[in-house]
Structure 1
Amino acid sequence: MPKPTAGDLVYRVAFDVKGMASDGAGGTTTAFSEQFQCRAGFVHLRGGESVQAARLQGQHPQIIRVRSSSLTRNVTTDWRIRDVRSGDVFNIRDITPGLDRQFIDFLCQKGVAA
């Protein structure tokens, strides 16, 4: 895989965290709220049997790459990523900081429950 550059970050994504919200009837429900937005690059996985099997089940695993910052370093797998343009929602499965500490890779899946 070639070394990532800032020019690869052509999409805008929002990071949402799960919290509590009023349900309008005096109770509470869980809801996601946006914490911040940043630029991102998408790396679509082609590979092995598990990727092919996930696609057959309507799931789409991919890597979402963002610049490392104080905000992105605080993200955990309880959060989700949302493509601002299309509205697609991705559940975070794994987080891998880059060796050069400039980027963070989020292994995400679209089409699965949180």
Structure 2
Amino acid sequence: MQSIPVDTARLGVLRCAIAPEVKYSNAETKEVKKDRDGNPVYTVAVTVRQDGRRISVVEIAVTGEPKGVTEGSEVRVTGLTAFAWSMGDRHGISFRADAITPTPGATGKGGGAG
């Protein structure tokens, strides 16, 4: 699986759409997904506002629970990487980051100048 670094500076304003949730490796047993070092993996849904009004939502996996990240808050995503995957006739792109943190000094839900 090839990793593709993503330049987050070109993505515009990033906001948390769904607060961090633990990621499960098995949804039926609620077994928490772990990274190579045994740390829990979390998922954060982030909105990406591209050209004006168009908004996309991407789910980003990150090791450890991102502290201070709440729904509607502006966030900084560090070390974002995309991975192309395929399983049988299914395929897609997944995202992983080194860290997701609140943007210092940013306003919460819908605030700030546009």
- Which TM-score applies when normalising by structure 2? 0.30
Higher helix share: 1
